[in-house]
C-alpha cells in the first residue's frame, strides 16, 4: 500500500488529507498516477485538472512528473509552495 497525502487546495478539492491505495503495476510514473487519480471522481478531477502545475514529493523529496513511483511509501501532491 502507498500513502497519498494532499495539501492546500489539492486537499480541499479531493476532500481528504490522505489515503492509502494499492498502486496497479501499470502505474509506473508520477504522471501515470495523476492520470489514474483523475478518473477516481469529480473531486480528483477538479484538483488535478491542470496536471502540470501539481507539485509532487516522494518519500518527502521533490520529484518531477517522470519519476518512478514503484518504491514510494509516501507520495504527496500539492500546489506550488507559498511559504516564507
Partner 1 sequence: MSRLRIEVQRDDFDIGAELALIAAQDSNIGAIVTFSGLCRDEAGTLSALEIEHYPGMAEAEIRRTALEAMERWPLTGLTIIHRYGLVRPGDNIVLILAASTHRHAAFDAASFLMDYLKNTAPFWKKEHFIDGTDGGWVEAKSRDEDAFKRWHSL
Q: How far apart are CA 29 and CA 72, in angstroms?
A: 10
Only one of the segments 7-15, 21-29, 37-45, 65-73 lies at the binding site for partner 1 (rule: CB under 8 A); that segment is: 7-15
Q: Look at residue 8 and give its three-state secondary structure.
A: helix
* The only residue of 3, 4, 7, 54 in contact with partner 1, by rule CB under 8 A: 7
Shortest CB 73 distance to partner 1, Å: 12
For residue 2, what is its C-alpha cell? 502507498
**Surface-to-core class of residue 75, CB atoms within 10 Å of its CB (0-12 exposed, 13-18 middle, 19+ buried):** buried
The answer to whether residue 13 forms part of the interface with partner 1 (CB under 8 A) is no
By rule CB under 8 A, what string of x and - marks binding of each residue 54-83 to partner 1? Answer: ---x--xxx-------------x-xxxxxx
Given the complex with partner 1, which of 19 and 81 has the nearer CB atom?
Answer: 81
Given the complex with partner 1, which of 28 and 46 has the nearer CB atom?
Answer: 46
* C-beta neighbour count of 1 within 10 angstroms: 9
Amino acid at each position: 500500500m502507498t500513502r497519498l497525502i494532499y495539501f492546500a487546495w489539492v486537499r480541499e478539492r479531493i476532500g481528504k488529507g490522505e489515503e492509502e491505495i494499492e498502486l496497479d503495476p501499470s502505474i509506473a510514473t508520477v504522471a501515470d498516477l495523476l492520470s489514474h487519480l483523475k478518473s477516481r471522481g469529480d473531486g480528483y478531477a477538479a484538483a488535478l485538472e491542470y496536471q502540470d502545475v501539481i507539485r509532487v514529493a516522494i518519500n518527502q523529496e521533490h520529484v518531477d512528473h517522470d519519476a518512478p513511483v514503484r518504491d514510494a511509501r509516501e507520495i504527496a501532491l500539492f500546489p506550488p509552495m507559498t511559504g516564507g
